[in-house]
Amino acid sequence: MTGELGRLPEPPGLPVIGHLWRWTASPLRLLEDGARAGPVFQVRLWRPALVGYRPEWNRAILSDLDTFRSRGSLSGLSPYLAAGIVHTDAPEHRPRRRGLSGHYSARALAALEGQLAAVAEARRPRGDFEALAWSAALVQDMLNVALFGGALPPGLLSRFLRPLHHGLPAPMLPRPWMFRRVEAAIAAALADPAPGSIAAGLTAAADGAPRDGYRPAAPETVKDLRVALAAGYDTTSHTLAWAAWHLASHPQWRDPQALPLFLDEILRRYPAGWLGSRIATRDCMPAGIPVPAGTLVLYSPYLTHHDPSLWHDPHLIRPQRFASGRPSWSYLPFAAGPRTCLGAHLAQLILRTALIPLCHGDLTQSGGDPAVTAGITLRPRGPLHMRARCPRR
């Protein structure tokens, strides 16, 4: 089966180094060139990898935890993600996720909406502001409140999260001293959790009877919260910056009732998790493609969300396209299947709550560069200069 990889199409590359330089310099353009070659294509990085983006490929890769594992994939390259539930595979993944999912459900998070709304109002922009800086500060505060009741020191949080705003290799560099300090602060928050916070729910679950046969140990809980903090930060803050930018040019969507459709479209156009990866544990045939055991397989929400055979005018912002619902396996802002992002409901709550104050008063673009750049996550090139005026009373 190994020889089958050589028969798949691939985008233009270079002798010897293959696609490694293009991957480093312009990964989105490399993927777009590959997509023009075929629905599944090969890229030659530091190791060969297969990339697919059609719904049948997404379904095959994301629904089979036994065949496609996370450990050894690209997520393990960043110390911010190489731990916790993100890095857990079958058979441990299912019971561990069950022990966590209830605390991140829409029903459980509804109790936090008032607190998050207060944070959003306190950080409401007035006058000229830069959207990336505003969204980063706001999302940091909102995550701190949701996860820990605001107990983590803001300065420590900023230092921990700052590398996620920089290009590669900054998010890939080990920072053991900083991680130990953050984990110590999380452990302290768990020892005396703020009522109503996610940390309080996790502490109560650990102190009570096992749930679905699983009781989270304290070190696991600390790492899960540390990863949730990092994974939810830059993804949500970059999405929020784009949402504010486009909300200024689409005043018809500046209505709290219309925000869910608008946010669905922003998440489609700019999927923060633009690329996902797994390792095949056995010879298999996802979507009819022979894949040898040990192969790095990639799925790309960015390619899926911009496939003109799935989405009409995919580069335009058209929230009304979601009036009839979200298509299965063609819409992956939070991945899909058994490993759907655990923080999806929290991210959506933060985004919606953060944008409600911007629905009132004037909001305009002053200038900037919203072009897409790719690192660990998708982000605007920036800056994004804007102006907000509160409504007159």
**Cβ atoms < 10 Å from Cβ of 86:** 22
Q: Are 305 and 332 in contact (CB under 8 A)?
A: yes
Which pLDDT score is estimated for 84? 87
Please, which residues have CB within 8 angstroms of residue 334's CB and are 6 or more apart in sequence? 273, 340, 341, 343, 344, 347
Fold category of 53-389 in CATH: Cytochrome p450 (1.10.630)
pLDDT in tens, 152-169: 999 999 999 999 988 778
| Phi, then psi, of 333 in degrees rounded to 5 | -65, -25
pLDDT band with cut points at 50, 70 and 90 for residue 210: low
pLDDT at 332 over 60: yes
Which pLDDT score is estimated for 348? 98
Task: Calculate mean pLDDT across residues 177-204.
Answer: 94
pLDDT in tens, 113-138: 999 999 999 999 999 999 999 999 99
Strands (E) located in the chain: 40-44, 48-52, 68-69, 127-130, 276-280, 296-299, 362-368, 372-374, 378-380, 384-389
Which pLDDT score is estimated for 167? 79
DSSP string, 111-134: GGHHHHHHHHHHT---EEEEHHHH
Of the candidates 189, 192, 163, the one whose C-alpha atom is nearest the C-alpha of residue 178 is 163
* Residue 31 to residue 274: CA distance in whole angstroms: 10
Give percent above pLDDT 70 in the chain. Answer: 95
pLDDT at 4 over 70: no
DSSP string, 306-364: T-TTTSSSTTS--GGGGTT---TTT--BTB-GGG--TTHHHHHHHHHHHHGGGGSSEEE
pLDDT band with cut points at 50, 70 and 90 for residue 212: low
Of the candidates 155, 303, 152, the one whose C-alpha atom is nearest the C-alpha of residue 229 is 152
Domain ranges of the chain: 53-389
